[in-house]
């Protein structure tokens, strides 16, 4: 069963403007050099990377062998933290959401197709946080 409080944290993080968006990987780090000795580290995230970051910042502790940044899909423990599972099959590492027009695809595919975080958050809210 989906944990609505945790999904709300994820949607709010996408809407916050605190994350720069990237494609094709959960997190991308880069370093830029400015004038003189100024160095700036830039972190960019795909939507599932934001989901991972939110889970880690809110108490999820992975096993020592559980580096969540090694793939372009959610670590299974992150998916379980949100409640994205199918009984008998296990975690859903790239959950599916719908646009207003009914078209469904995975969060990662919408992200990599350039759908902004704000719009993804609205789709996530409709999918899991709508009134029953």
Among 15-24, 47-56, 70-79, where is mean pLDDT lowest? 70-79
Flag whether pLDDT at 84 surpasses 80: yes
Which residues make Cβ contacts (< 8 Å) with residue 62, sequence separation at least 6? Answer: 56, 68, 75, 77
Flag whether pLDDT at 32 surpasses 80: no
Tell me: the pLDDT tens digits for 91-117? 999 999 999 999 999 999 999 999 999
Domain boundaries, the chain: 4-129
Full-prediction pTM beyond 0.85?
A: yes
Distances (CA, A) of 90 to 15, 23, 78, 109, 126: 29, 26, 12, 21, 23
């Amino acid at each position: 069963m989906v944990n609505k409080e945790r999904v709300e944290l994820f949607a709010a993080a996408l809407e916050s403007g605190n994350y720069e968006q990237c494609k094709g990987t959960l997190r991308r780090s880069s370093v830029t050099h400015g004038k003189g000795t100024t160095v700036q580290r830039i972190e960019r995230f795909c939507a599932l990377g934001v989901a991972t970051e939110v889970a880690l910042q809110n108490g999820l502790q992975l096993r020592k062998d559980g580096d969540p940044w090694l793939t372009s899909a959610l670590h299974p423990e992150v998916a379980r933290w949100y409640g994205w599972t199918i009984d008998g099959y296990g975690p859903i590492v790239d959950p599916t959401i719908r646009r207003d027009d009914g078209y469904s695809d995975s969060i990662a595919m919408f992200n990599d197709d350039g759908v902004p975080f704000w719009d993804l958050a609205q789709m996530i809210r409709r999918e899991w946080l709508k009134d029953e």
